[in-house]
């Protein structure tokens, strides 16, 4: 039904475009412009690189690659998908998109939680599926990542050299993570993932290729790409610092997953607030996943913590003493490699998912973690209100630490647009996630209302940046950055006609 009607629409629009173009050069329909751009690209790049719904066998894979099913082919049928093999293919595509004023989107690992940020209706999708290699250069001690690679694949390919990029905590996530800053298990020691850029190949909106580094004429662009998302150009190659994490056999970390019951939640929230306030040791690393599922309105809450220490079990015991003193139901603690860490937690694919963000500063041990409790209470209220909804599979609340050492590492590595002034204490980026049940193809209005209520009422500490990678599409994330004014200036310089904000979905505020 959807396919047939959009086919008719595109055909009609194309006819209008062809007929009227001879006289006025005015192809007023967005669909017609996209269809024409696709035709042009297919003749210049060929039908392997450029595929339509009816012309290519990879089209369906590309159109259904998104992790959140809300952004897959049920809701979005790109007019064509460009599968570049080279930077030049991306340049050719962007040049045509820019000249024709077509809508477009870019997709790397596909894990965006924002509907339509990594796909497009009546536009051109550039999918990096086939540009997915990585390599290590021991001389410069750097890693090259092509945008289509996933963190697990990159880490397993490179572990033989004893190195890893600063990347995601979940194996299946992709390199778009870098453009939102990126929080890694290596971040307490190395900064946001993007703080570890060495050089970036960037195709600007008009198709021009530049290589940006910390100290060449594109240094402003280089910095903007450490958190500005997809607004500043398309990165076709990332060269990043190699971190010496050891091979898979060298188990340099100690720790793993601890599962706590809901009766431990208040003590756990206090421990989190103390940890982020007090910790100065970049070797102590944690991640959280609080998850609520339900059956017949009966809620099941599981509080998962990954606690790891880069070092010995004795240091682990000391660093996480408060967490270890809180009753937990199970633990799997052992010596781990960095690759093991990336596989410690997995997430299901194939469900519609939406994110929401806030940020909280730490509090000293003597202070009650009121705002943490309130965040959790609002989360529980949502889960309770919708516990009988068959629309939802589960909800998550996550606290991602940004300790002082991470902020400082970012300053030492040339600064990024995200962080608050140096000297600001550590903070948590907070994620509220709603994952819909299988077969649900769009968010339902009542659930959406409840989710928006959490977003508008969840407490946050003024002056702290929210996390673009784990936010709602309508949140003003860039405006919470320390470098918001800087981002606006750089955007105007590299996209003077504001093509990107008019033709692709992405962060608000530029």
Ligand X SMILES: *[C@@H]1O[C@H](CO)[C@@H](O)[C@H](O)[C@H]1NC(C)=O
By CB under 6 A, name the binding residues for ligand X: 24, 26, 28, 46, 48-49, 85, 130, 132-133, 149, 153, 157, 186, 189, 204, 206, 208, 243, 245, 262, 265-266, 283, 295-296, 298-299, 301, 310-311, 313-314, 317, 324, 378, 380-382, 385, 450, 453, 494, 496
CB of 17 to ligand FAD, least distance (A): 27
- The interface partner of residue 79, options being ligand FAD, ligand X, none and the CB cut-off 5 to 8 Å by kind, is none
- Separation between Cα atoms, residue 320 and residue 11, nearest integer Å: 62
Please say which residue, 87 or 279, places its beta carbon nearer to ligand FAD.
87
- Separation between Cα atoms, residue 32 and residue 35, nearest integer Å: 5
Going by C-alpha positions, the residue among 329, 321, 342, 277 that lies closest to residue 300 is 329
Token couple for 178: 């870098």
- The interface partner of residue 453, options being ligand X, ligand FAD, none and the CB cut-off 5 to 8 Å by kind, is ligand X
Contacts (Cβ under 8 Å, ≥6 apart) of 19 = none
Please say which residue, 44 or 208, places its beta carbon nearer to ligand X.
208
Please say which residue, 301 or 468, places its beta carbon nearer to ligand X.
301
Token couple for 330: 């199970």
CB of 178 to ligand X, least distance (A): 16
- The interface partner of residue 102, options being ligand FAD, ligand X, none and the CB cut-off 5 to 8 Å by kind, is none
- Separation between Cα atoms, residue 507 and residue 401, nearest integer Å: 22
CB of 223 to ligand X, least distance (A): 16
CB of 387 to ligand X, least distance (A): 9
CB of 85 to ligand X, least distance (A): 4
Q: What are the C-alpha distances in Å from 380 to residues 64, 175, 360, 373?
A: 32, 32, 18, 10
Please say which residue, 83 or 264, places its beta carbon nearer to ligand FAD.
83
- The interface partner of residue 230, options being ligand FAD, ligand X, none and the CB cut-off 5 to 8 Å by kind, is ligand FAD
| 73 SS3 class | coil
What's 265-312 look like in SS3? Answer: HHHHHHHHHHHHHHCCCCCEEEEEEEEEEEECCEEEEEEEEEEEEECC
Binding site for ligand FAD (CB under 6 A): 67, 105-113, 117-118, 147, 168-170, 173-177, 179-180, 182-183, 229-230, 234-235, 347, 469-470, 506
Please say which residue, 215 or 295, places its beta carbon nearer to ligand X.
295
Using an 8 Å Cβ cutoff, are 149 and 132 in contact? yes
Please say which residue, 116 or 386, places its beta carbon nearer to ligand X.
386
CB of 3 to ligand X, least distance (A): 25
Please say which residue, 56 or 147, places its beta carbon nearer to ligand FAD.
147
| 460 SS3 class | coil
List strands edge to edge, sheet with 392-402: 330-336, 253-260, 298-310, 284-295, 392-402, 427-436, 353-361
CB of 66 to ligand FAD, least distance (A): 7
């Amino acid at each position: 039904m959807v396919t047939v009607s959009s086919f008719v629409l595109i055909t009609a629009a194309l006819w209008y475009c062809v007929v009227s173009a001879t006289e006025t050069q005015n192809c007023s329909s967005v669909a017609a412009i996209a269809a024409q751009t696709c035709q042009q690209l297919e003749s210049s790049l060929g039908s392997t690189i450029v595929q339509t719904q009816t012309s290519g066998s990879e089209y369906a894979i590309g159109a259904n690659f998104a992790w959140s099913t809300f952004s897959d082919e049920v809701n979005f049928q790109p007019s064509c998908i460009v599968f570049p093999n080279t930077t030049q293919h991306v340049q050719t595509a962007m040049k045509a998109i820019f000249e024709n004023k077509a809508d477009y989107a870019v997709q790397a690992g596909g894990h965006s939680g924002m509907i339509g940020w990594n796909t497009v209706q009546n536009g051109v999708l550039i999918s990096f599926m086939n540009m997915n290699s990585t390599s290590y250069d021991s001389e410069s001690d750097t890693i090259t990542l092509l945008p289509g690679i996933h963190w697990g694949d990159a880490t397993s390919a490179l572990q033989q050299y004893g190195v890893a990029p600063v990347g995601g905590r979940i194996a299946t996530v992709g390199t778009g993570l870098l453009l939102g800053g990126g929080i890694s298990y290596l971040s307490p020691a190395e900064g946001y993932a993007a703080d570890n850029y060495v050089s970036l190949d960037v195709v600007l909106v008009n198709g021009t290729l530049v290589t940006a580094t910390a100290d060449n004429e594109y240094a402003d662009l280089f910095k903007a790409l450490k958190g500005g998302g997809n607004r500043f150009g398309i990165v076709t190659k990332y060269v990043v610092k190699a971190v010496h994490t050891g091979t898979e056999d060298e188990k340099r970390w100690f720790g793993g997953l601890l599962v706590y019951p809901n009766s431990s939640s208040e003590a756990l929230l206090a421990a989190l607030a103390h940890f982020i306030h007090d910790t100065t040791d970049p070797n102590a690393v944690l991640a959280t996943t609080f998850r609520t599922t339900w059956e017949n309105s009966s809620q099941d809450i599981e509080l998962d913590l990954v606690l790891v220490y880069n070092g010995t079990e004795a240091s682990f015991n000391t660093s996480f003493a408060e967490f270890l003193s809180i009753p937990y139901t199970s633990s799997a603690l052992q010596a781990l490699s960095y690759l093991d860490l990336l596989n410690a937690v997995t997430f299901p694919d194939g469900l519609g998912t939406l994110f929401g963000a806030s940020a909280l500063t730490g509090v000293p041990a003597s202070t009650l973690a009121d705002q943490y409790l309130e965040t959790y209470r609002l989360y529980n209220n949502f889960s309770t209100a919708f516990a009988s909804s068959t629309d939802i599979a589960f909800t998550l609340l996550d606290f991602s630490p940004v300790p002082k050492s991470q902020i400082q590492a970012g300053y030492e590595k040339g600064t990024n647009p995200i962080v608050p002034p140096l000297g600001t204490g550590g903070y948590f980026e907070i994620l509220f996630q709603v994952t819909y049940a299988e077969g649900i193809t769009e968010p339902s209005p009542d659930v959406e209302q409840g989710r928006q209520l959490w977003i508008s009422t969840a407490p946050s500490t003024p002056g702290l940046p929210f996390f673009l990678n784990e936010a709602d599409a309508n949140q003003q994330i860039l405006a919470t950055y320390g470098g918001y004014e800087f981002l606006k200036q750089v955007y105007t310089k590299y996209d003077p006609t504001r093509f990107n904000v008019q033709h692709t979905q992405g962060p608000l505020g530029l």
